Structure 1
Amino acid sequence: MKNITTTAGEALGSHQDSLTAGVRGPLLMQDYALIEKLAHQNRERIPERTMHAKGSGAHGTLTITHDISRYTKADIFSEVGKETPLFLRFSTVAGERGAADAERDVRGFAIKLYTQEGNWDLVGNNTPIFFVADPYKFPDFAHTQKRDPRTNMRSSTAMWDFWSLTPESLHQITILFSDRGLPISYRHMHGFGSHTYSFINKNNKRTWVKFHFKTQQGIKNMTNEEGNKIIANDRESSQKDLYESIENKDFPKWDFKIQIMSEEQANNHKDNPFDLTKVWSQKEYPLIDVGILELNKNPNNYFNEVEQVSFSPSNVIPGIALSPDKMLQARGFAYPDAQRYRVGTHYEALPINRPICEVNTYHKDGSMSFEDINKKAGIIYEPNSFDGAKEDSQYLEPSYALEGNAARYDRSLENDHFYQARDLFNLMDDSQKNQLFSNIAAAMDGVPSEIIKKQLALFEQISSNYAAGVKMALE
């Protein structure tokens, strides 16, 4: 028989009754087993993510099917047939942990690839763009998606007020309220890295790259009415679909593709190629096949794996780097900082986050400090005269040119926020346009008329038919 113990290993003589002063007496503070049990329960839930709180995840592999080594020296792409283990977390963006899976929302598509050169975290969404391009605006956007502090309810007014004053959001709004804004499951949607990243090849030449994951299951979406029927009976519809498909060995797959842009092309591109509210034309920069992503194993413990998995766009590997994308650069700080607060200082030492390669840092102490983090206790600084880990110049990234004065630039003065949303709108058939109008009108219920007028004026700059369609749906 195994003895039940405290977390320090002390065997307990009783696990049924608290220590009290007499049969009817009060509790005694010296009942440390009780205190430990209650204190642990208080900490069984880590703070939920500010965004992407509701999620599902699975393990899988990325298999390389095409040679792209001319663009990047990353070992993950070094040979056709190479397999890399990964963990993918899907999520809804705005809702809390208790939100329903079938709500209209952007979906997160975050991948942690465990490579021999370190973890590569590709943290994206099911849309190739986002609502804002400057991180200065992101906390404000996030507040519009959360609960009003006075009513403790989601506020359509806050949402549309912000959007009506932020024209760069129009492209993402058009996607969110289109038929693709409500996927039937995580398996039936595309994924995107969204940001522009760097590829660096063995000759230290840089190109810019965007990442795409095209579902092999086909795109399938729902109307608001269909989603509401599902929510009435099942708030975990996407979780159930993903879990059961993998358990039944119907492993979901995505085709992994990239777009490539040279530094010269970027310098002459009509838009800022690092603007997160814009896509690159696939006619100008066609998709290039890379590999296949497959999910083939469910988590053994949801909390340990799906809740504690911690992503950051700053986790890159040699041959992959960041770019001047402002949102990407800010996320490179904000994500690991959020994980240190949410999970703990040494969150990357947890099994779900731990790299499969050797890790050598000079980080010291802090919460969750495992005994093997600082292997050589006496060497906690660098440079040192001992056998401590040292830098290697072969991992330096090539430079790229910067120009201009340090200032807070108003990007709207030279930025067309309307043409890509117009291109998307013109691609829609009549049925898709009517869904768009109806979905927007439903989301505007209760919004003050002056805010609706401002938003209609923005739609008018996309297309008079766009504005007229929404206006008619509102009547």
Structure 2
Amino acid sequence: MTKNLDNSKNNLTTDAGAPIGDNQNSMTAGSGGPVLIQDVALLEKLAHFNRERVPERVVHAKGAGAHGYFEVTNDLARYTKADFLGEVGKRTDLFARFSTVAGESGSSDTLRDPRGFAVKFYTEEGNYDLVGNNTPIFFIRDAIKFPDFIHTQKRDPQTHLKNHNAIWDFWSLSPESLHQVTILMSDRGIPATLRHMHGFGSHTFKWTNAEGESVWVKYHFKTEQGIQNLTSEVAQTIDGSNPDHHTEDLFNSIEAGDYPAWTLKVQIMPLEDAANYRFNPFDVTKVWSQKDYPLIEVGRMVLDRNPNNYFAEVEQVTFTPGNIVPGIDFSPDKLLQGRLFAYGDAHRHRVGANSHLLPINRPKNEANNYHRDGAMRSDSNGGSSVYYEPNSLGGPTETPANKQASFAISGMADSVAYDDDDHYTQAGDLYRLLPEDEKTRLVANIVGHMMPVADEAIKRRQIAHFVKADPEYGARIAAGLGIENV
């Protein structure tokens, strides 16, 4: 008996902890008889197997991740009271996940697609999630267009194939996408590895200091490995031999002690500048000029530990831009405002209402609130403590000092677009900045992607946008598609 107890950690058990006597043979009525329903170990094993996959993410389904830390290298307390940013040398544990946007969980790593760049900081004031991409902008600027945009990137409901007509029809009718389309079709559309790309918060956020003074801020993670990209031809070759190239590279580099790192820098804009800046600073299809608002170093992100279990950590980690900490607030960016709901709601559907209790999502300082019950509640569920607020029984109360900083708003409540409809200047500037060889590859990538579009009207409508950005840009694409009189 003592020997059996000592080795109990090696006993194969049911989920209830009961030892399993035979895991090779089902319990049957005689050696050739039918299987008995009383074989509960068999039933549990098959039932669990049927449920081993949670629904994959609607977007960013294919991803890789790693643990690491963030270390502050520059004191920016004059801009934000966020504790994890408040002291040079301070380290904060984190988990980062990188992903493609449109592909399924089994799709190729080397597709031409933006890459998600999400970081969860386990701060002493709660989890802070910075959920961005490897581009500083996005295709759309209002969350109401997001489901439609993603539908165009997914599979056709009849053929179950990617639909180039849908993609370019949507883009040609959404000129705000032109800047991001130009980046996507450029060399940076396919990074060589996840380590060799920049990351961005993309949206505008607000920082507030201990005195209650606020500024607008944008985040830039600059890879210390240098930018490296793949041509379409090389990416296709890798896709054919190793569709998990990026996932493998990240894991192997960390396993070998070659820890990837990024330097975090920010752009700071005074609140009063927003009203008069030449581009709407909350429009996520636009960038702020670094000549106007130079990059300021904040610290370094280093990834130095691989997950022990992909499902438990990479697949079940949940990110939402709604996870903020004191000193960091939101902006009136319309796409960001929609994401504040959509991301948390997606996780409540996909992983469950209590996904925050999973180890990968659990904050260091533990949640302390009146949320109760729900599927997979794995803690004490509040025990016998008070379960409502306000109360006179000593339960947790709000801390007014941690309210989000206020900002002025005005105008009529209405469904309206941003005032700025200049979708062409920044896209044209980007095209003109590219060296000639990169311009050539950009044009070739666009032409190759538009070739399958059957409707010439869609091609002409999109070419008109390229022409408005830069006449040469549009003319070269038209020539490549064999379209005249644009």
TM superposition score normalised by structure 1:
0.97
Equivalent AA in structure 2 for residue 433 of structure 1? K
Q: 1:124 is matched with which residue: 132, 146, 161?
A: 132
Runs of 4+ in 1 over 4 A off after TM superposition: none
Unaligned runs of 5+ in 2: 1-6
The residue that corresponds to 1:231 in the other structure is 239
Aligned mates of 2:48, 2:351 — CA distance in 1? 15
Q: 1:213 aligns with which of 215, 221, 233?
A: 221
Alignment counterpart, residue 444 of structure 2, candidates 434, 438, 447: 438
**Map of 2:86 onto structure 1:** 78
Whole-Å separation in 2 of the counterparts to 1:386 and 1:332? 32
Note the C-alpha offset of 1:15.
2.2
The separation in 2 between residues aligned to 1:206 and 1:377, in whole angstroms, is 41
1:18 maps to which residue?
Answer: 26
**Alpha-carbon distance in structure 2 between the residues aligned to 1:100 and 1:215:** 23
Q: Which residue does 2:16 correspond to in 1?
A: 8
Q: Look up the SS of the partner of 1:340 in the other structure.
A: helix
How big is the shift at 1:81?
A: 0.6
* Corresponding residue for residue 402 of structure 2: 395
Q: Which residue of 2 aligns with 1:62?
A: 70
Deviates more, 1:15-24 or 1:38-47: 15-24
User: Would you say 1:427 and 2:430 are equivalent positions?
Assistant: no
Alignment check: 8 A CA contact 1:204 1:397 kept: no
Distance 2:61 2:226 in 1: 26
Q: Deviations over 1:58-87 (max 9, x none)?
A: 111111111110000000111111111111
Shift of 1:446: 1.6
Which moves more between the two structures, 396-405 or 112-121?
A: 396-405
Question: Structure 1, residues 175-209: CA drift from partner, whole Å, max 9, x if none?
Answer: 00001111100111100000000101001111110
Q: Which runs of 5+ in 1 are unaligned?
A: none
Question: How does the TM-score come out when normalised to structure 2?
Answer: 0.95
AA matched with 1:165 = L
Task: Work out whether 1:474 is the aligned partner of 2:484.
Answer: no
Matched residue type, 1:191: G
Aligned length: 473
Contact 1:440–1:470 (CA<8 Å) still a contact in 2?
A: yes
Please state how far the C-alpha of 1:240 moved relative to its aligned partner.
1.4
Match status 1:95 vs 2:66: no
3-state SS of 1:453 partner? helix
Task: Indicate conservation of the 8 Å contact 2:357/2:379, yes or no.
Answer: no
Which string of whole-angstrom CA distances, capped at 9 and with x for unpartnered residues, describes residues 270-322 of structure 1?
22211110111111111011111111111111111111110000000000011
The equivalent residue for 1:461 is 468
Aligned match for 1:50, one of 38, 51, 58: 58
The percentage of aligned residue pairs carrying the same residue is 54
TM superposition shift of 1:470:
0.9
Q: State the alpha-carbon separation in 2 of the partners of residues 396 and 15 from structure 1.
A: 56
* Alignment-derived partner of residue 367 in structure 1: 375
The residue identity in structure 2 corresponding to 1:446 is: P
- How far 1:379 sits from its partner (Å)? 1.5
Partners of 2:441 and 2:480 in 1: CA distance:
10
Q: Deviations over 1:357-410 (max 9, x none)?
A: 132011111111013342x33421111221211111111122111101011114
Q: Give the letter aligned to residue 404 of structure 2.
A: E
2:3 alignment counterpart: none
Answer whether contact 1:271 1:415 (CA < 8 A) is retained. Answer: no
Match of 2:195 among 187, 190, 197: 187
Let me know the Cα RMSD of the aligned residues.
Answer: 1.2
Structure 1 counterpart SS, 2:177: helix
Q: Tell me how far 1:269 sits from its aligned partner.
A: 1.5
Q: Cα deviation per residue 1:297-351 (whole Å; 9 max; x = unaligned)?
A: 1111111111111000000000001111111111111111111111111101111
- When residues 373 and 78 of structure 1 are mapped into structure 2, their CA distance, relative to the original with a 3 A threshold, is farther
1:34 alignment partner AA: L
Moved more, 381-390 or 282-291: 381-390
Report the 3-state secondary structure (helix = DSSP H, G, I; strand = E; otherwise coil) of the residue aligned with 1:426: helix
Q: Describe the SS at the equivalent of 1:383.
A: coil
1:274 partner letter: F
The 8 Å contact of residues 136 and 201 in structure 2, kept in 1 or not, is answered as: yes
